Amino acid sequence: MINTLPRQWMNEQRRSGQELCLVLDSQNERETRQLLLKSSGHDQYLSVYNATTLENLADVGPFIFTLDQSGDRRLDDLLDHPERNWGWLVSVEKGALRGLANHWQERLIVGTRPYQALYRFHDNRVLSRALKHLPPEEYPAFLGPAISVCYWDGTAWKTAQNPAPGTHTVPDNPLWLRTPLPQPQASEIRRLNAHRYLLAEHVEAYANLAEVQEPDTWLRERLALAEAWGWLEPEQMEFLLIQSLQAPGFTLSPEWEVRGDESPVEHFERVRQWVEFWRGDVPI
């Protein structure tokens, strides 16, 4: 795989006096991470999840390394295999490693309980999709201290410049969280978020399920049903998951099936009212 562009970009950034950093997916690139850890000083890397509410995931979370070696050969394997989606490269002012980590720590958790999710900023596909859809004036709030970034977009190497690098607050409704997701990735994110939600809020029922069937298979089937029904709003998916866990044999009754030309909203409201009636939550 030709890696001329990232090497050129790195040389240009160094000539401009910038410091180079590697944002690395530690979970999928453990060998590279260990190689970099062994050859870096303690002030040359940070675990982004460390000292956050995600500290228990620090070992599989993203790391950021500063790259002070011109023509750093430690990156050869990564640059030769961008299809592994190992992360991306960024230039910052010298000494800005901590500021870069702080910037992304403030953007790690999206949503509110029980619909919180992790923002995978370290995934070059996530970065590429955001930069593709963001107008340049939104770059500063998204990229923070980053002066320039270099990343693989799935077909080619790309670079982007931040018009106003620095410290920026997180917007109330970040535009980068409203970029469209490819369907396979959207489905996988829903599965991961649903799994975390059930572990956090309904662990006993989830454990009971695991005694009789494979939870991941069951969860994929539930989410496929939600997609087929068009129940993709958080309230709808939560309702489907909880009621499925509480149903006899973890199987929903025929009453849940779509009737005639029901829209997803009409379908959901009918089933919700039916469930509330049989729970005694509504009068006859």
pLDDT tens digits, 135-175: 999 999 999 999 999 999 999 999 999 999 999 999 998 99
Model confidence band, residue 73 (pLDDT cutoffs 50, 70, 90): confident
113 pLDDT above the threshold of 70: no
The DSSP line for the chain is ---HHHHHHHHHHHHTTPEEEEEE-TTT-HHHHHHHHHTS-GGGEEETTTTSTTGGGGGGS-EEEEE-STT-GGGHHHHH-GGG--EEEEEE-TT-HHHHHHHHHTTSEES-TTS-EE--TT-HHHHHHHHHHS-GGGHHHHHTT-SEEEEE-SSSEEEEE-SS-S--PPPSS-GGGGSPPPHHHHHHHHHHHHHHHHHHH-HHHHHHHHTTS-HHHHHHHHHHHHHHHT--SHHHHHHHHHHHHHSGGG---GGGS--TT--HHHHHHHHHHHHHHHHT-S--
Q: In what order do the strands lie in the sheet containing 157-161?
A: 45-47, 63-67, 19-24, 87-92, 148-152, 157-161
Q: Beta-carbon neighbour count of residue 264 at 10 Å?
A: 16
pLDDT above 90 covers a percentage of the chain that reads 72
Cα gap 94→68, rounded to integer Å: 10
Count of alpha carbons within 13 angstroms of residue 61, beta-carbon side? 21
- At residue 181 the predicted structure's pLDDT band, cuts being 50, 70 and 90, is low
Residue 274 has pLDDT above 50, yes or no: yes
Q: What is the mean pLDDT of the chain?
A: 90
Confidence of residue 234 (pLDDT cuts 50, 70, 90): confident
pLDDT for residue 94: 96
Structure confidence at residue 284 (pLDDT):
41
State residue 192's pLDDT score.
Answer: 83
**C-alpha 120, offset from chain centre:** 3
Identify which has the larger pLDDT, 87 or 113.
87
Residue 11 has pLDDT above 90, yes or no: yes
The domains of the chain are located at 4-178, 183-279
| Residue 282 confidence class, pLDDT cut points 50, 70, 90 | very low
Least confident segment among 42-51, 103-112, 177-186: 177-186
pLDDT at 2: 57
pLDDT digits 0-9 by tens, 220-232: 999 999 989 999 8
The pLDDT confidence band at residue 188, using thresholds 50, 70 and 90, is confident
Which amino acid would we find at residue 223? L
Counted residue by residue, the chain has a size of 284
